[in-house]
Amino acid sequence: MVGGAVAASLAVSTVIFTLLEHEGAQRLHLPLVRRTREPFDGAEALPGGWIGGDEGLEEAARRTLAETTGLRPSYLEQLYTFGRPDRSPTGRVVSVIYSALVRSPEAARVAEVHNVRWAPVDEVRGLAFDHDEVVAYALWRLRAKVGYAQVAVHLLGETFSLGQLREVHEAVLGRPLDPANFRRRVTASGAVEATDEHLTGGRHRPPRLYRAVVPEGATGPFQTTAGPAA
């Protein structure tokens, strides 16, 4: 009814990115859940679910993420709200999307179960509902912010080599970068600072470790003002 109230169900979904080795290289991955009921029975989707009547949005996102994947990231960031009228065949569903980055050791501790798998982001397609669009939007936001120090901290840890940082940029951007140019650009940007520590365990001269310079009051790695029409 034009101008009248429209009944809608409220849900949450979460996009979690991590770095995992795939075919000899570090690649960006995210967990997908195989649906076991209609609509889209058998299709893969982002982890999520309905919001309980007494739950806050982030509380619901954390609960559904833990229930479906076992992941409990230290932070979640509200990404966007998707509410196109035809996004679900069962009726009007508005989904609040959360996103986060997790380090690979945390991701590795989550054993894959029969209906959950880690998928390389560049191979994700054909997801249920409009989740292909949701993933593409989350990836666009991450790529726009990959130069920010928060991305390195959440994916790598407090310290990292410039080689490890370049692997993050390559995985997020989906293309190789020239090592020498990357080193010059990053060290001149002021986004990282050198420590007195070195990476151990390699066969060659151990590279120096760096730490991210995070400006006071900086927002999370996905924060931006632009967005798609929901």
The answer to whether residues 30 and 88 belong to one domain is yes
- Residue 222 located in a structural domain: no
The answer to whether residues 68 and 159 belong to one domain is no
The answer to whether residues 129 and 201 belong to one domain is no
| Interatomic CA distance for residues 184 and 192, integer angstroms | 12
Residue pointed to by tokens 């409990």: 72
The answer to whether residues 121 and 190 belong to one domain is no
The answer to whether residues 55 and 39 belong to one domain is yes
The answer to whether residues 130 and 30 belong to one domain is yes
- Provide the domain limits for residue 25: 9-143
| Interatomic CA distance for residues 142 and 57, integer angstroms | 22
- Residue 133 located in a structural domain: yes
| Interatomic CA distance for residues 175 and 40, integer angstroms | 33
HSE, side-chain direction, 13 A CA sphere, residue 209: 13
- Residue 113 located in a structural domain: yes
pLDDT, tens only, 167-180 = 999 999 999 999 99
- Residue 19 located in a structural domain: yes
What secondary structure letter does DSSP report for 137? Answer: H
What CATH number does residue 153 fall under?
A: 1.10.10.10
Residue pointed to by tokens 């649906």: 35
Give pLDDT tens digits along the chain (230 positions). 456 677 899 999 999 999 999 988 899 999 999 999 999 999 999 999 999 999 999 999 999 999 999 999 988 999 999 999 999 999 999 999 999 999 999 888 876 666 889 999 999 999 999 999 999 999 999 999 998 878 988 999 999 999 999 999 999 999 999 999 999 999 999 999 999 999 987 667 899 999 998 777 776 777 654 444 34
pTM for this predicted structure: 0.89
For 228, the token pair is 């798609």
| Interatomic CA distance for residues 161 and 180, integer angstroms | 14
The answer to whether residues 27 and 115 belong to one domain is yes
Boundary of a domain, candidates 92, 117, 143: 143
Give the total number of structural domains in the chain.
2
The answer to whether residues 133 and 175 belong to one domain is no
What CATH number does residue 111 fall under?
A: 3.90.79.10
Q: At 171, is the secondary structure helix, strand, or coil?
A: helix
pLDDT, residue 201, reads 73
